[in-house]
Amino acid sequence: MIITLQYMMKKETLQKILAWGAIMYILSGMNTASANDSAEPLHFYGRYEFTWSGITLGTLVLGIEDENDRYSMHLLVTSAGIVNLFTHHASDTVASGKREGTAYLPRYYESYYKTKKKPRHIKLEFNAKGAVTTEINEPPEDRNDRPEVPHKLKDGAYDPLTALLALRAGMQDMRGFDAKRLYEVKAKESKQDTLFIAGDWRKATPYILSRTPLSGLTAKEMREYRQGEPLLTLYLSNDKERIPLAVSMPVSIGYVSGTLVKTCKEWKACEIDVLAK
């Protein structure tokens, strides 16, 4: 089991999941043609636990303040347990912007994260037309290793956190930018399911997510993508709130899963200590 877990770490499965694959994969563009007009404002604070074959991998806390004309989001992630013998990941990320009906217009995205004790900081700012006006990567990217994404491609793309709200509003053909890479993402709605979540049975709508790189990937990342990338399933509650209930991804043996274990009335009640700087 330890050897298998080490192999998973080398393949960066943990980092993808603990960054919340459902968020990192839902890198969406600003096409609102397929949006669901019934999407309603949302105030949500939830804690999620990630596991593989009964082994705890980490914890995630998500906060969403979705008003009629604006929104803000906060995401905390930390690895845990035996995983920290091989690698340690922590991140603290925020996003905010405007809402016009079911269209979400990102204005600000910032993330501090640390993997294997190597801190990084990224920041994006957008103007009213969706163009990227500020782009910070600290330490700077080596452009001999990672090519820069052209403005004509990244302008008009969503940041990873805002993209979750776009999917909630009904978008299924998406594009987006995470300050490094640009992806095209497709989300296919699957058959309704029922999940046991935080002590209750909840009706859920599964979305099968796949992504295609467009720009900004290193040669190593492209080789890994060509070797095959597992599909990720995101479950949203089948009700007016449409909150994220769970996420799962197949790995070499079994599945890595993240499940909602607690909802809170305020952020502080769900918040965890994260040393991301």
- Say how far apart CA 160 and CA 28 lie, in whole Å: 8
Please give the mean pLDDT across all residues of the chain: 84
The pLDDT value recorded for residue 173 is 81
- Say how far apart CA 270 and CA 253 lie, in whole Å: 31
* Inter-residue contact 148 to 125 (CB < 8 Å): no
The pLDDT value recorded for residue 39 is 58
Q: Is the peptide bond before 139 cis (omega within 30 degrees of 0)?
A: yes
Answer left, alpha or beta for residue 242, where phi above 0 means left and psi between -120 and 50 means alpha.
Answer: left
Per-residue pLDDT of the chain (277 residues; tens, 9 = 90+): 333 344 344 444 554 544 444 344 433 322 333 344 445 678 999 999 998 888 888 999 999 999 889 999 999 999 888 777 777 889 999 999 999 888 899 999 999 999 888 999 999 999 999 999 999 999 999 999 999 999 999 998 989 899 888 888 888 887 889 999 999 888 899 999 999 999 999 999 999 988 899 999 999 999 988 988 888 899 999 998 899 999 998 877 788 889 999 999 999 999 999 989 8
- What is the domain range of residue 7? 2-270
Confidence (pTM): 0.87
Domain assignment of residue 85, yes or no: yes
Domain assignment of residue 247, yes or no: yes
Report the domain count for the chain: 1
The predicted-structure confidence for 31-48, as pLDDT tens digits, reads as follows 333 344 445 678 999 999
* Inter-residue contact 158 to 27 (CB < 8 Å): yes
Give DSSP secondary structure letters for 30-83.
S--TT--TT---EEEEEEEEEEETTEEEEEEEEEEEE-SSEEEEEEEEEE-GGG
Domain assignment of residue 277, yes or no: no
Instruction: State residue 21 phi and psi, 5-degree precision.
Output: -50, -35
**Of 139, 138, 72, 136, which Cα lies nearest the Cα of 107?**
72
The pLDDT value recorded for residue 132 is 94
Domain assignment of residue 275, yes or no: no
How deeply is 195 buried, as exposed, middle or buried, from its count of CB atoms within 10 A (0-12, 13-18, 19+)?
middle
Domain assignment of residue 182, yes or no: yes
The pLDDT value recorded for residue 30 is 29
- Say how far apart CA 43 and CA 110 lie, in whole Å: 21
Domain assignment of residue 276, yes or no: no
